[in-house]
A and B are shown apart, each in its own frame.
Chain A
């Protein structure tokens, strides 16, 4: 798995914010075409890790490579689509205008077609002219996802993408993630929703800034001797505590 073309390679990554050690020896690899879920409680380091991969913070120690480059280089080359936890959009601008702006920043080829596709995936083609301020929370989340999808970057970082999204649409999201993975897109998705975790190829259970268990959902359940993921997570957490 240690190929130079891995979407993400993280080894012994450390990051400290003042007195808080957010990442303490974080190891993870994500291959192209793989959907990897980061599963863990709030404050366990999921978002910090995703932000470090997005080139938003400098880690204190360890190695991080994104598609064979440093995170910042990969982001600068437009290889990374990042969906933030809260929908970061310009409220006064319409859905279309927001997408056009971010598409221009990422130098997305065939902007109009890329925007159409992203809107179709998130089911907001009808609302493309609406100002973001007039959309519901769930709709904004969908626009935010559409921004990350623009131009189909080879790595998607999704920080809790389905918060506020209804079950039917959530299923569509996942079908689309799967379709992207089929085209060799790597997807790193954080969540604390267990049923969502079942849909990932591989899970990394995070606790206190470290990956405490890794593998498919079935394998993690088996290893913990638990009936469901939630119980498996609790048992594995206790065993390392």
Chain B
């Protein structure tokens, strides 16, 4: 073991970095950006912590009104008092996460000391939204219950509070993985296809073949389009395997058509391939290309509604979600698999359109970025 040789190797690495400013920038810049992102994610910065709910008061007596007032003013809830029909429309539009219905017999039950029940209908398509909403309703209801009961003549006391929970989509028989499949399948496909394109285009550059391609009649747009088509073949096969395996082997649920799931995947893969090409065109060496991987994937993991529902993102970060291609893929796939939405559903249609537009924009940028002066 020679200290001199060890030192020579170490010094060489330091010097290589010194000459590769961009890698150096990544080394310090990327973790700081991610850290700031996580800081804002978990530091309450206003908004976002309340759950949107609709309250329908059907109580024949005065007790329901008092509890409804209490719920409406609870800090955990962003509540509006509406008719049953309006509430249903709001829930289907996704403008509220749940409907709280105070039954006809609420006051009567309280006065006769029966157990009190609220019926809760959850929108249900997102596991985390379900849990957050139910928790907030529970806390708000318990807080408001005492005052509601105290206001009743004769000092009524209900024996406990029960929430009868029903679901518009999904349900108690849906497992965690059933809920996560619509976000995990797009993430896996995006990750793998992006990395594959990013690295394979880099090989084209490093191997000198890019130089040869550019000294041929091949136009840059043709090169990008050819790459997209070539990778699309594998991306489609991968999607077929992934979706069929998830549904038929792992037995995960899907309420919608498989064709619609594939359509969403195709749109997303178009984005992934073009993003891989664009960033690879920016990278000067393999080191830089590899560092684009966390830069692209970590924000998507945090901001596209995979683990943290978009509606609970801090106000500051929520607009960023709509810059993440996976946000659209997740929303569309969730709409299809959990809600059973068809391809013609306006939300699914809009998401697919957004992804295709994004893919076209990235393709144009990529073909501009592949410069002829490559060496």
Contact = CB atoms under 8 A, between A and B. Distances in A.
Contacts of A58: 372-373
B217 A56 contact: no
B301 to A, nearest CB: 32
Contact of B212 (A55, A57, A78, A82): A82
Contact of B211 (A88, A105, A106): A88
Contacts of B374: 56
Given A84-B208, A91-B207, A55 B215 contact: yes
Contacts of A54: 215
Nearest to A76: B217
A154 B102 CA distance: 87
A55 B372 contact: yes
A13 interface: no
Interface in B342-375: 372-375
A51 interface: yes
A90 B213 contact: no
Interface of B: 207-209, 211-219, 372-375
A70 to B, nearest CB: 13
A75 B207 CA distance: 21
Contact of A56 (B214, B218, B219): B214
Contacts of A125: none
Q: B212, B213, B214, B375 — which one has the most chain A CB atoms within 10 A of its CB?
A: B212
6 contacts: A55-B372, A76-B217, A77-B217, A82-B212, A82-B216, A84-B215
A80 interface: yes
A72 B171 CA distance: 62
B216 A106 contact: yes
A89 interface: yes
Contacts of B215: 51, 54-56, 75, 80, 82, 84
Contact of A88 (B207, B217, B373): B207
A102 B212 contact: yes
Contacts of B212: 82, 84, 88, 102, 147
A86 interface: yes
Given A78-B217, A84-B211, A88-B212, 19 more contacts: A51-B375, A56-B211, A56-B372, A56-B374, A56-B375, A58-B372, A58-B373, A75-B215, A75-B216, A76-B219, A82-B212, A82-B216, A84-B212, A84-B215, A89-B207, A105-B213, A105-B216, A105-B218, A107-B217
B208 A88 contact: yes
A76 B212 CA distance: 13
Nearest to A157: B215
A21 B41 CA distance: 51
A107 B208 CA distance: 21
A57 B373 contact: yes
B217 A89 contact: no
